[in-house]
Amino acid sequence: MNPCPIIPAPRSYRRCDGFFLLPSGGNVVHLLKKEIDPAILGEESYRLAVTPEAIRLAASTSCGLFRGFQTLKQLVFLAKDGRLPCVVIEDSPRFAVRSFLIDSARHMQSVDEILRMIDGAALLKMNRLHWHVSDDQGFRIESERFPLLNTVGSYRDGDTFGGEIKTGRTGGYYTKDEVRQIVRYAASKYMEVVPEFDMPGHVSAILAAYPELSCRGGPYSVQTGGGIFPDLLCAGKSAVLDWIKSFLEEMLELFPSRVIHIGGDEAPKGQWYTCEDCLRLMRDRGMKNAEELQQYFTMEVCEYLHSKGRRAIVWNDSLKAGALPPQITVQYWLGSKKTTLAHIAGGGSVIASEMGYMYADYPFFMTPLWKTYSYDPFPSHPEAVLGVETTLWTEYIAAEARLHEMAFPRIAAAAEVGWTEKKHKNYPSFVRNMKRLLPLLASMGIHAAPAEDWSGCSPRALREMSVFLKRTADGKTVERQRQNMKEEKRLAQIQGFSE
């Protein structure tokens, strides 16, 4: 049997005798015989049969036909001398969700660039763009109800990421029309855009615009560098929750996704222990600590989303006070898996994006491609894994060329982790296939990291590692987080709460 050249590797691939002769130019769209076959189970499943006489693609849904067409596109691209090898491919995904995150808060991308990333990811059968559009360093979506989010929250006064100082006001936001264009374009590729509005932490940009949403009243400014900042949305003021609901109501009009990501990561709670409103609510409700206040806050926002027919996703940090209802999906990225496993035990499901494997912003030296490829999320509970995600945080990814190199081929590795059954995965085959697909990606305007970098040991990969080390050498982020935690503990004790 010839090895399968497709990424992600399909469930079943059989090379048959003979070839289908391609028309000159290779365009097979008008020759393709498409069929809806209800017997093919699964929304994304398809069967592709190439014989010397015809190319037949069958699925029970138009989404399945689209996924199958991505396979055909790769086969046609790889065909030599106008001869398409005869094959029978029967295929369906391992996990329902194959997601990639683009962080447009730290650095924005042009609309064209986002559409290009969607193209590349769709070719690899990814089906979700997790769009991180709000963080300490900028708020990126047009709001008519809360215009200061744009006039104030979308701009920052220079850049200090990794100690590299750039002066001048920088930023911007996507207009509602642009957001609709991106959502529509993704939908045309059977890809859902799930926005993330991170809360109660990572909100400096929101607080710069509306400081009354904080515990202290501000003033705040949009952050110019990376890190974890102590300013949170106040969980004790009912007016803040009212604001969040009104804000989400406006955003839900733009994003039709079944789920909305509400963040919940990295929220140091020192300020909640110094806020009369937060303390009153904690005491009135007999909460043991501020983690329980975050749990209350998360539940309020999730219940609002449920009332609007949506579901929520939260980062696993949101589980520190104990389980959340199983309707809420947890995205695991870092830390003990105990709370996430308890969520699974309670019937909940998980998106898996473990930092050491799936974070695409780390140099290949730290996370070589084979490591991403080898990711096996929650192996003792595969039934609870809704999907996997690779993340492109952009503190250090300002240029579009750099975005491509960090995203590809990692998105391809993530696609195979998410789509391909474990027993059909094979890293040497994946690498061989990936190298052959690079010119196809390049023809789509996507310039992936060169193959010699993937193991992390090329001279260029080593140089990138040394740049990364220089950026993080001052240890400021780690130190700031240590201080945040120390302060939180101290204030909790003063107020008579145990952390």
C-alpha atoms less than 13 angstroms from C-alpha of 12 in its C-beta half-sphere: 11
Q: What is the DSSP string of 364-420?
A: TTTS-HHHHHT---STT-GGGEEEEEEEE--TT--SHHHHHHHHTTHHHHHHHHHHS
Quote the strand ranges of 22-91, DSSP E: 33-36, 46-50, 55-59, 83-91
Considering only residues 113, 157, 266, 376, which one is a binding residue for ligand ACM as defined by CB under 6 A? 266
Binding track over 157-196 against Zn ion, x by CB under 5 A: ----------------------------------------
Which element (helix H / strand E) includes 351? strand 350-352
Identity of the residue, 63 or 215, whose beta carbon is nearer to Zn ion in the bound complex: 215
Considering only residues 87, 199, 259, 275, which one is a binding residue for Zn ion as defined by CB under 5 A? 275
44 binds ligand ACM (CB under 6 A): no
Bridge-partner residues for 359, per DSSP? 391
Size of the site for ligand ACM (CB under 6 A): 4
213 binds Zn ion (CB under 5 A): no
In the complex, the smallest distance separating the C-beta of residue 139 from Zn ion, rounded to whole angstroms, is 20
Size of the site for Zn ion (CB under 5 A): 6
Q: Hey, which residues between 106 and 125 contact ligand ACM (CB under 6 A)?
A: none
Task: Please name the residues in contact with 86: beta carbons below 8 A apart, sequence gap of 6 or more.
Answer: 15, 16, 17, 18, 19, 20, 50, 51, 52
Identity of the residue, 4 or 278, whose beta carbon is nearer to Zn ion in the bound complex: 278
Q: What is the DSSP string of 247-283?
A: HHHHHHHH---SEEE----S---GGGGG-HHHHHHHH
234 binds Zn ion (CB under 5 A): yes
Q: Name the phi and psi angles at 341, rounded to 5.
A: -65, -35
Residue 333 binds which entry of ligand ACM, Zn ion, none, with Cβ cut-offs from 5 to 8 Å by kind? ligand ACM
Residue 332 binds which entry of ligand ACM, Zn ion, none, with Cβ cut-offs from 5 to 8 Å by kind? none
136 binds ligand ACM (CB under 6 A): no
Identity of the residue, 95 or 220, whose beta carbon is nearer to Zn ion in the bound complex: 220
300 binds Zn ion (CB under 5 A): no
Pick the stretch among 268-276, 422-430, 448-456, 474-482 that binds Zn ion (CB under 5 A): 268-276
For residue 356, CA distances in Å to 13, 364, 366, 466, 476 come to 32, 11, 8, 18, 21
Q: Which residue, judged by CB position, is nearest to ligand ACM in the bound state?
A: 265
Alpha-carbon distance 182 to 168, whole Å?
A: 28
357 binds ligand ACM (CB under 6 A): no
Residue 278 binds which entry of Zn ion, ligand ACM, none, with Cβ cut-offs from 5 to 8 Å by kind? Zn ion
Considering only residues 231, 265, 361, 464, which one is a binding residue for ligand ACM as defined by CB under 6 A? 265
For 177, counting Cβ atoms within 10 Å of its Cβ (0-12 exposed, 13-18 middle, 19+ buried), the class is: exposed
277 binds Zn ion (CB under 5 A): yes
Residue 215 binds which entry of Zn ion, ligand ACM, none, with Cβ cut-offs from 5 to 8 Å by kind? Zn ion
Q: Is 474 left (phi over 0), alpha (psi -120 to 50) or beta?
A: alpha
Identity of the residue, 130 or 237, whose beta carbon is nearer to ligand ACM in the bound complex: 130
Q: What is the DSSP string of 182-245?
A: HHHHHHHTT-EEEEEE--SSS-HHHHHH-GGGBSS-------SS-S--S--B-SS-HHHHHHHH
Q: 3-class SS at 344?
A: helix
Binding track over 305-344 against ligand ACM, x by CB under 6 A: ----------x-----------------x-----------
Considering only residues 209, 215, 293, 384, which one is a binding residue for Zn ion as defined by CB under 5 A? 215
In the complex, the smallest distance separating the C-beta of residue 316 from ligand ACM, rounded to whole angstroms, is 9
342 contacts 320 by C-beta, under 8 angstroms? no
User: Interface with ligand ACM by CB under 6 A: which residues?
Assistant: 265-266, 315, 333
User: Interface with Zn ion by CB under 5 A: which residues?
Assistant: 215, 234, 236, 275, 277-278
